[in-house]
Amino acid sequence: MTTVAYLGPTGTYSEIAALQYLQLCNSNLEPNPSQMYPYSTIAKAINAAEHGNVDVAVVPVENSIQGGVTMTLDSLWQSESLQIQQAIVLPIAHALITRSQTLEDIKVVYSHPQSLAQCQQWLELNLPNAQQIATDSNTDRLHSVAEDVTVAAIASQRAAEIYNLPVLKFPINDQPDNCTRFLVLGRTAPTTKGTHSSLAFSLKRNMPGALVKPLLVFADRQINLSRIESRPTKRSLGEYIFFIDIDAPIDNPNLSEALHELQSVTENLKILGSYGIYIVV
């Protein structure tokens, strides 16, 4: 029975993604609560998978509005053993959860910084005087919502149901097409190679066209890169690690050839996984 670490507590979008993953594995059987392990940070959830305390960690890697989740990218680069098993794309729709009957009475809004950012225009227009307080997860302060009628939280409708709290407004995200891509990370290669591959590399030195060489390796073979993201090496300002997503499984002959050539134009090259993408509708 697969065990899953996720950014908890119960009611977070990460939990929804984790449940979707278990249903995908179990041919839509209802997941068992004993399979689900909430962690207080993304780093702790990834560590649990790395050290074998759970089979996999389900963590956010990219949101369509906020961009890359740097903690996940940095942990993937540092990991010795984790491979991407599966990607899950989840639509994100935020609810304003409060016991207040009107917006006027709300003095404080709690949520994760990414959720606050995703509702920034709505908040400025509808709750210009409410204090916005960042929390570790969307559901951290739902107990305050239960206790105090002047408090609101931004979280999923599912969180409101779990904590038995009313939703005053839904959806309140500024962009209707808001979705988050999650990665399922485990210590084994996935059973099928899927349709997509991810890799990361650092460059030998900063020189004209240093990044162009690795990219040409793909372009010359008509291999589509669906994403490129840079992260600092943390050694010095101006040195980067590049994360690349490719629309092909890792055993695609073109890609195998490209990876071979890539070795010679990069400093350190890591294959992060070959996997399928499951889009939740």
Determine which residue in the list 15, 50, 58, 181 makes contact with a copy of itself, applying CB under 8 A.
181
Q: For residue 105, what are its two tokens?
A: 């009475």
Shortest separation between residue 221's beta carbon and a copy of itself, angstroms: 8
Helix, strand, or coil (residue 261): helix
Q: For residue 175, what are its two tokens?
A: 């962009």
Shortest separation between residue 36's beta carbon and a copy of itself, angstroms: 25
> In terms of CB distance, is 66 or 126 closer to a copy of itself?
66
User: How many angstroms separate the CA atoms of 92 and 110, rounded?
Assistant: 17
Residue type for position 148? D
Binding-residue total with a copy of itself (CB under 8 A): 44
User: How many angstroms separate the CA atoms of 69 and 146, rounded?
Assistant: 30
Residue type for position 10? T
- Residues numbered 150-169 forming contacts with a copy of itself, rule: CB under 8 A: none
Residue type for position 205? R
Per CB under 8 A, 20 contacts a copy of itself: no
User: How many angstroms separate the CA atoms of 266 and 204, rounded?
Assistant: 6
- Residues numbered 205-224 forming contacts with a copy of itself, rule: CB under 8 A: 206-209, 211-212, 215-216, 218-219, 222-224
- Residues numbered 105-144 forming contacts with a copy of itself, rule: CB under 8 A: 113, 120, 134
Is the link from the previous residue into 214 a cis peptide, with omega within 30 of 0?
no
Contacts with a copy of itself by CB under 8 A lie at: 43, 62-68, 70, 89, 113, 120, 134, 175, 177, 179, 181, 206-209, 211-212, 215-216, 218-219, 222-232, 234-238, 240
